[in-house]
Chain A
Amino acid sequence: MFSSKNMKLLTNPLGDSNPITVQVLGICSALAVTAKLKPAFVMAISVLVVMTLSNVIISLLRKTIPNRIRIIVQLVVIATLVILVDEVLRAFVYDVSKQLSVFVGLIITNCIIMGRLEAFALANKPWDSFLDGLGNAFGYGWILIVVAFFRELLGSGTVWGYPVLDKIGLYDIGYENNGLMILSPMALIVVGIIIWIQRSRNKDLIESN
Chain B
Amino acid sequence: MNRSNLYTFMYASVMVIIVAALLSLAATGLKPLQDKNEEIAKKLDILNTVGLGMEVGEADSKNVYVEAEFDKFITESFVVNAKGERVDGIDAFTINLTKENAKEVDKRTLPVYVCTHENGAQNYIFPVLGKGLWGPIWGYVALNDDFVSIAGVVFDHKGETPGLGAEINTPPFQDQFIDKKIFDSSGKFVSIQVNKIGIPVTESSVDAITGGTITSKSLEEMLYDCLSVYESFINKQK
Give the B-binding residues of A (Cβ under 8 A).
Answer: 32, 35, 63-69, 72-73, 76, 80, 83-84, 87-88, 90-92, 94, 98-99, 101-102, 182-184
Q: CA of A192 to CA of B166 in the docked complex: distance in angstroms?
A: 30
Q: Is the CB of B8 within 8 A of A90?
A: no
Q: CA of A51 to CA of B33 in the docked complex: distance in angstroms?
A: 26
Q: Is the CB of A35 within 8 A of B2?
A: no
For B, the interface residue count at a CB cutoff of 8 angstroms equals: 27
**CB nearest to A99 among chain B residues:** B159
Q: Is the CB of A90 within 8 A of B37?
A: yes
**CB nearest to B3 among chain A residues:** A66
- Whether B201 is near chain A, meaning CB under 8 Å from some CB there, is no
- Contacts A66-B11, A76-B15 hold; do A35 and B23 have CB atoms under 8 A apart? no
Q: Is the CB of A80 within 8 A of B19?
A: yes
Interfacial chain B residues near A73, Cβ < 8 Å: 11-12, 15
Chain B 214-230 against A: per-residue CB contact (8 Å), 1 yes, 0 no? Answer: 00000000000000000
Q: Is the CB of A91 within 8 A of B162?
A: no
Least CB distance from A61 to B in Å reads: 9
Interfacial chain B residues near A102, Cβ < 8 Å: 160
- Contacts A83-B23, A90-B37 hold; do A101 and B158 have CB atoms under 8 A apart? yes
- Whether B27 is near chain A, meaning CB under 8 Å from some CB there, is yes
Q: Is the CB of A182 within 8 A of B33?
A: no
Q: Is the CB of B23 within 8 A of A90?
A: no
Interfacial chain B residues near A182, Cβ < 8 Å: 162-163
From residue 68 to 122 of chain B, which have CB atoms closer than 8 A to chain A?
A: none
Chain B 1-41 against A: per-residue CB contact (8 Å), 1 yes, 0 no? Answer: 11100011001100110010011001100100110011011
Partner of A64, one of B11, B27, B30, B162: B11
- Whether B161 is near chain A, meaning CB under 8 Å from some CB there, is yes
**CB nearest to B20 among chain A residues:** A80
Of all A-B residue pairs in the complex, the 9 with the closest CB atoms, nearest first, are: A94-B37, A91-B33, A91-B30, A66-B8, A66-B3, A90-B34, A87-B30, A80-B19, A91-B34
Q: Is the CB of B11 within 8 A of A69?
A: yes
- Contacts A90-B30, A182-B163 hold; do A67 and B1 have CB atoms under 8 A apart? yes
Least CB distance from B112 to A in Å reads: 26
Q: Is the CB of A66 within 8 A of B162?
A: no
- Contacts A80-B22, A183-B163 hold; do A65 and B158 have CB atoms under 8 A apart? no
- With A88-B30, A90-B37, A98-B159 known, 13 other A-B pairs at CB within 8 A are A66-B7, A67-B3, A69-B11, A69-B12, A72-B12, A73-B11, A73-B12, A76-B16, A87-B30, A90-B34, A91-B33, A94-B41, A102-B160
Least CB distance from B201 to A in Å reads: 29
Interfacial chain A residues near B40, Cβ < 8 Å: 94
Partner of A67, one of B2, B23, B33, B38: B2
**CB nearest to A35 among chain B residues:** B162
Q: CA of A91 to CA of B32 in the docked complex: distance in angstroms?
A: 8
Q: CA of A101 to CA of B30 in the docked complex: distance in angstroms?
A: 18
Least CB distance from A102 to B in Å reads: 7
Partner of B26, one of A87, A101, A184: A87
**CB nearest to B164 among chain A residues:** A184
